[in-house]
Amino acid sequence: MAPLTTSSNGEGFWGEVTSTIDWCEENYAVTSFLAEFWNTISNWLFLIPPFVGAILSWENKLERRYTFSFISLCVVGIGSFCFHATLLYEMQLLDELPMIYGTCVLIFCIWHCSYRPREHNITLSLILIVCCAMITLVYLTVVNPLIFQWAYGILVATLVIRTGMACRKHNGSKKLLTISLVSYAVGFILWNIDNNFCPYIRDVRNSLFPPVRPFAQLHALWHTLAAIGCYYHVLFRLVIVNI
């Protein structure tokens, strides 16, 4: 994440930018109704595949934590869509806080791979709920993107470590896990390149042939790869259950 910057002087339907972050995509460059067009529409992978997954897991009577996992991804996609479409502070919270909550849902689910079906770890549930509440309270009190960045990073690291342990313990699908981790890691790298080298990225992007420019929207690529990584993470857990 980066401090507040202005990508362009364009003004559109949603008015002045009030979020604490403004990404590298030029604002209102494609349409006056979406502040960041490519960053907005790239959230479709957070919406459609998880929505289908939620329906199928419900119809097949899988444990509700899997349905909840898919739904949490949809909520993240909705929040990100609203944030990048408007660049309003309220929508920024709708994007970032569900990322915290959704990661905690994934931690809960991967932890429960070692439990019998329908068995619940109440202590873990309470710890994650308190964690979400504390992060929310601190972030709303101290309006600093670094609060979210560090909290999210620690939770993702916890998720990755626990997932690796589950893969070894349950002989899980290394292929699914590799797709999940590599997709997310590459997306995270692109996210940071976009944040830290925005002027150079924008110059290179503007020098490209127009039809190719969308593929140089690195934050939109982050959305795509992160969605793939999260979706395959849920599939990885489903395979463990059915081994």
DSSP class of 203: H
> What pLDDT, on the 0 to 100 scale, is given for residue 232?
94
Quick: pLDDT tens for 96-140.
999 999 999 999 988 877 666 666 778 888 999 999 999 999 999
> What pLDDT, on the 0 to 100 scale, is given for residue 171?
76
Q: Is 34 helix (H, G, I), strand (E, B) or coil?
A: strand
Model confidence at 198: pLDDT above 90: yes
Complete DSSP assignment for 56-110? HHHHTT--HHHHHHHHHHHHHHHHHHHHHHH--HHHHHHHHHHHHHHHHHHHHHH
Quick: pLDDT tens for 14-56.
999 999 999 999 999 999 999 999 999 999 999 999 999 999 9
> What pLDDT, on the 0 to 100 scale, is given for residue 166?
83
Q: What is the mean pLDDT of residues 65-70?
A: 92
- Mean pLDDT across the chain, nearest whole number? 89
> What pLDDT, on the 0 to 100 scale, is given for residue 114?
67
